[in-house]
Amino acid sequence: MSGDEASSLVNKIRSSENILMVVGAGLSRPSGIPTFRDDPWFWERPIEDSATETAFERDPLYVWAVYERLRLISRNASPNPAHVALAKLADAKPKLLTISQNIDGM
């Protein structure tokens, strides 16, 4: 993003009341939370083997183990600058709505 584009975005955010933020797993990656696509080492198997109902029916112990590792990592993670910025934006813009697929609680 160029400086002009960033400046334009900032101006639009400042002048807006209703803002929708759609965030994904990448938001928490700097906090050490592995993403489904970028950190295959964490998942050991393709993500479809741990993130679907079929996977749970086929191998519930594996699915529980994956999510327990993710829970422990998330429990010890701290918000990163993107989380802090989003929280400040939410404070400044009460009508901000954030939609996230994240399950880390940040």
pLDDT at 44: 78
Domain range enclosing 79: 3-100
Identify whether 8 is part of a domain.
yes
Q: What confidence score (pLDDT) does residue 103 get?
A: 72
Q: What is the pLDDT of residue 106?
A: 77
3-class secondary structure for the chain?
CCHHHHHHHHHHHHHCCCEEEEECHHHCHHHCCCCCCCCHHHHCCCHHHCCCHHHHHHCHHHHHHHHHHHHHHHHHCCCCHHHHHHHHHHHHCCCEEEEECCCCCC
- Asked if residues 10 and 88 have their Cβ atoms less than 8 Å apart, the reply is no
pLDDT mean by block of 10 residues, the chain; 106 residues:
84 91 88 79 77 91 90 90 94 93 76
pLDDT of residue 87: 94
Structural domain tally of the chain?
Answer: 1
Does residue 63 form part of some domain? yes
Distances (CA, A) of 23 to 53, 76, 102: 24, 21, 8
In a domain, 106, yes or no: no
Residue 35 lies in a domain: yes
5 with 12: CB under 8 angstroms?
A: no
Task: Establish if 86 belongs to a structural domain.
Answer: yes
* Domain-located, residue 105: no
